[in-house]
Chain A
Amino acid sequence: MKLLEHHGKQLLERGGLRVPRSGVASSAEQARDVASRIGSRVVVKAQVPTGKRGKSGAVLFADSAEEAAGVTERLLALTVDGYRVHEVLVEECADIARELYAAVLNDPVSKGPLVLFSTSGGMDIEEVNRATPELVRRHPVDITRGLGAEDALEIVSGTDLPERSREAVAEALLRLYSVYRESDADLAEVNPLVLTGSGDVVALDAKISVDPGSVPRQQAVVAGAPASAQEQLTDLERRGRELGLQLIELDGDVGVLANGAGLTMTTLDVVHHYGGRPANFLEIGGDAYTKATPALALVLDNPRVRSLLVNFCGAFARTDVMAEGVVAALEELRPDVPVFFTIHGTGEEEAVRLVRERLGVEPYDLMDDAVRAAVAAAAHAAPAGAVPAEVR
Chain B
Amino acid sequence: MLVRRGESVVVQGITGRQGSYWSQRMAECGTRVVAGVSPGKGGRDVAGVPVYDSVAEATARHHLDATVLFVPPMAARDAALDAISAGVRKVVFLAEHVPAQDVMEVLARARESGAQVLGPNTAGLVVPGETSVGIMPGFARNIFRPGSIGVVSRSGSLGTLVCLNLVTAGFGQSAFVGIGGDPILGTTTLDAVRTLDADDRTDAVVLVGEIGGVMEEEAAAYVATMTKPVVAYIAGRTAPPGKRMGHAGAIVTDGRGSGESKVDALTGAGATVVDVPSQIGEALRAAGAQPAEPDEAVRSSVRDASPSR
Residues of A within 8 A of B (CB): 106, 108, 111-113, 142-144, 181, 184, 186, 211-214, 216-217, 246, 248, 250, 258-266, 268-270, 272-273, 281, 283, 285-287, 313-317, 319-320, 344-352, 365-368
Contacts and interface: CB of A to CB of B under 8 A. Distances in A.
A211 B101 contact: yes
B104 A112 contact: yes
A106 B235 contact: no
B306 A262 contact: no
Given A144-B112, A263-B157, A268-B239, 18 more contacts: A108-B183, A111-B184, A184-B100, A184-B101, A213-B73, A260-B156, A264-B245, A266-B236, A269-B235, A270-B277, A287-B96, A315-B135, A320-B309, A345-B157, A365-B302, A366-B278, A367-B278, A368-B276
B286 interface: no
Interface residues on B, range: 35 or more
A186 B98 CA distance: 13
B299 to A, nearest CB: 11
Contact of A314 (B154, B160, B208): B160
B107 A111 contact: yes
B246 interface: yes
A112 B236 CA distance: 27
Interface stretch (B35-43, B61-69, B137-145): B137-145
Nearest to B105: A143
Contact of B250 (A184, A214, A261, A351): A261
A340 to B, nearest CB: 16
Contacts of A368: 276, 278
| 9 cross-chain pairs, A with B, having the tightest CB-CB distances, nearest first | A262-B155, A261-B246, A260-B157, A262-B158, A263-B157, A316-B135, A315-B156, A265-B236, A214-B99
B97 A344 contact: no
A284 B131 CA distance: 27
B305 interface: yes
Contact of A347 (B96, B185, B307): B307
Contacts of A366: 168, 278
B237 interface: yes
B108 A262 contact: no
B109 to A, nearest CB: 6
Contacts of A262: 153-159, 181, 208, 210, 235, 246-247
Given A213-B97, A346-B307, A348-B140, A246 B277 contact: no
Interface in B157-182: 157-161, 164, 168, 181
B308 interface: yes
Contacts of B264: none
Contacts of A217: 74, 99
A269 B209 CA distance: 13
Interface string B114-151: 00000000010000000000011100101100000000
A344 B143 contact: yes
Nearest to B182: A213
A270 B104 contact: no
B96 A261 contact: no
Contacts of B143: 344-345
A149 to B, nearest CB: 20
A316 B155 CA distance: 11
16 contacts: A106-B104, A108-B249, A111-B184, A113-B101, A250-B240, A260-B155, A262-B159, A265-B246, A265-B250, A268-B239, A317-B157, A320-B306, A345-B160, A348-B140, A350-B308, A367-B277
Nearest to A113: B104
A285 B157 contact: yes
Q: Which applies to chain B's interface (DSSP): helix, strand, loop or mixed?
A: loop
Q: A181, A314, A319, A368: which has the most chain B beta carbons within 10 Å?
A: A314
A231 to B, nearest CB: 11
B156 A349 contact: no
A258 B236 CA distance: 14
Contacts of A348: 140, 303, 305-306
Contacts of B275: 269, 273
A352 B303 contact: yes
B238 interface: yes
B22 to A, nearest CB: 8
A315 B137 contact: yes
Contacts of A287: 96
Contacts of B309: 320, 347, 350
Contacts of A349: 303-306, 308
Contact of B245 (A181, A186, A265, A317): A265
Q: B135, B157, B213, B302: which has the most chain A beta carbons within 10 Å?
A: B157
A212 B210 CA distance: 20
A261 B156 CA distance: 9
B267 to A, nearest CB: 17
A211 B183 CA distance: 11
Interface in B214-260: 233, 235-240, 243-250
Contacts of A320: 306, 309
A144 B105 contact: yes
A260 B178 CA distance: 13
A263 B99 contact: no
A346 B136 CA distance: 8
A181 B104 CA distance: 12
B196 interface: no
B92 interface: no
